[in-house]
Structure 1
């Protein structure tokens, strides 16, 4: 019996060494984030979670910093099978359909990532989004959102009245329309031009990233006013798989990836919230004034955003459906009339 046990054990060890337990799925995924960034660390945790929870049945090769294709092309690379999935963001795809804006950054909609996640999982958002995503041969698993971004300014931004004639760097698209409608003067410029434009007074402020991110960029060495917590923009990256690849997964692996994506969302939001609050302490000590808009001021901004949403809803039937799905949930939350 001892000899038989020894032979059996040796045979199993040989099988394991010979690759009998190799991964069932070797997945190629791309993100625009660098591995050492805050977002990159959350993405690496996602990889670790999926591989651990599947017991090695899934292995993920991550292509960091958009190593295979440009970030905006990652969606198509996933759909065509060049990649198995991607972790960029829906807002990159507004050129395909304006509806993607509302599954990437529903500007002026929500105050916290928790509200936005609630829309996705309990407000019909995931189902609505996948009607769009799956028409492009991709499947949306979920979002991972850092949280609200902060405006940086050389002059006070205590409320909507301060937006009038405020010149600021803005990304193109929906944001310019929202702020122009509220009396601001958005100027579209390359990210690298922000510093010179602030120093020379070409602009009064800038939309760049989160409070901690703005601090790391050195913006508060130039200007001494910022909105925090933010109110205007909360971009979410997504976890997307090629639809055929997704459908090839057994139910347990699909469930594991869904759970790992929710863990990713929590991790990303917690990391960013901590970093922002630590930055808040440092910046206030350095004399930077932070403005937390009142519920009434946020409601006024949200109402202004809704007017711009109307214009985008008119662009395609899918955009109209996306806007309506958000509005139904925002009314349910008592955030719009």
Structure 2
């Protein structure tokens, strides 16, 4: 059995007296809302376990780069990865559909519902287990906003729109809708807007966009956003997970779900507060159900193309579509 960096010391030969030490890396800052809820997860686990579990938490990718955390957990450098599944799309495009379906769901709660009520967890667990990892939970901060120097009233305003996009699935979706996405690093968004290289950006949610200074330059934004809702994952090395007593496993999963839901609630309040404060200076556009459906149809073509060649990805896409049909987001589901 691989115990990685977890130290499990049996005291008095009793499982109840075990001391378990786990080393976990995340890519959040400790000051962020996500980071604060990760810290609360750590405190909840240590407290509810009666001190049997000790967690060494490494923020801001202090040990390895964010994209390398998953492999670090697989290989025992750390025990857990609290980053994002989309970093692993090079392994299998299926990881895109367990991190951000893009253009599919309209709220984080719909994403959670697919995971816990739509059969998603079983498929996700199968994918993670195949790489020697175990998914504890998701953490979905909230809906992101598109930002532009011109109006973004609906899909028609995406035509020939030159904007910053992350690489991968998103570029395909927006190209299908007539936009001109430009792949630019997150750290270069403000400078690219300032110099006119782009006339808009997909960066993050409204509160983060404001902290980056984007609304100083881009006075038009979508809200509530629905084109992107990245879900960070709480994942542990599978053998480490299997080595834990059942009560500790339950404690960790329940605490992770609490942290996930609290993160979503915290960001929903923070984002709405930001939008209220920016009203009058920035124009926000809430797309109609018909416009969202148009966007979703363009996204569906990109999902199929992106998933092609991966059985796991195609299975996940069909599962998402079937659940979206069930909750009324699409008129046709798995086909």
Q: 1:23 offset after TM fit, Å?
A: 5.8
Answer yes or no: is the 8 Å Cα contact 2:193–2:199 preserved in 1.
yes
Specify the alignment match of 2:295 in structure 1: 301
The number of equivalent residue pairs is 318
Aligned pairs (5 A) from 1:46-65 = 46-65=41-60
Q: 1:178 offset after TM fit, Å?
A: 0.1
Structure 1 runs, 4 residues or longer, greater than 3 Å off: none
Answer yes or no: is the 8 Å Cα contact 1:312–1:320 preserved in 2.
no
Q: Distance in 2 between matches of 1:191 and 1:140?
A: 27
Q: 1:79 offset after TM fit, Å?
A: 1.0
Specify the alignment match of 1:66 in structure 2: 61
Q: Distance in 2 between matches of 1:304 and 1:257?
A: 39
Q: 1:196 offset after TM fit, Å?
A: 2.5
Answer yes or no: is the 8 Å Cα contact 1:138–1:240 preserved in 2.
yes
Specify the alignment match of 2:78 in structure 1: 83
Q: Pick from 24, 27, 39 the counterpart of residue 34 of structure 2.
A: 39
Alpha-carbon RMSD = 1.5
- Pairing 1:249–2:244 present: yes
Specify the alignment match of 2:270 in structure 1: 275
Aligned pairs (5 A) from 1:129-148 = 129-148=124-143
- Pairing 1:291–2:285 present: yes
Where do 5+ consecutive residues of structure 1 fail to align?
1-15
TM-score w.r.t. structure 2 length? 0.92
- Pairing 1:195–2:190 present: yes
Q: Secondary structure at the match of 2:181?
A: strand
Specify the alignment match of 1:168 in structure 2: 163
Specify the alignment match of 2:208 in structure 1: 213
Answer yes or no: is the 8 Å Cα contact 1:144–1:264 preserved in 2.
yes
Segment of structure 1 superposing worse, 251-260 or 187-196: 187-196
Question: What is the CA deviation profile of residues 133-168 of structure 1, one whole-angstrom value per residue up to 9, with x for unaligned ones?
Answer: 001100011100001101111000010110001110
Specify the alignment match of 2:221 in structure 1: 226
Q: Secondary structure at the match of 2:60?
A: helix
Q: Secondary structure at the match of 2:54?
A: strand
Q: Distance in 2 between matches of 1:48 and 1:125?
A: 28
Specify the alignment match of 2:322 in structure 1: 328
Q: Distance in 2 between matches of 1:163 and 1:137?
A: 41
Q: Distance in 1 between matches of 2:48 and 2:285?
A: 43
Answer yes or no: is the 8 Å Cα contact 1:143–1:239 preserved in 2.
yes
Q: Secondary structure at the match of 1:65?
A: coil
Q: 1:22 offset after TM fit, Å?
A: 7.2
Specify the alignment match of 2:5 in structure 1: none
Q: 1:233 offset after TM fit, Å?
A: 0.5
Q: Which one has a bigger Cα radius of gyration?
A: 1
Q: Secondary structure at the match of 2:90?
A: coil
Specify the alignment match of 1:99 in structure 2: 94
Specify the alignment match of 1:183 in structure 2: 178
Q: Distance in 2 between matches of 1:315 and 1:205?
A: 33
Q: Distance in 1 between matches of 2:321 and 2:70?
A: 26
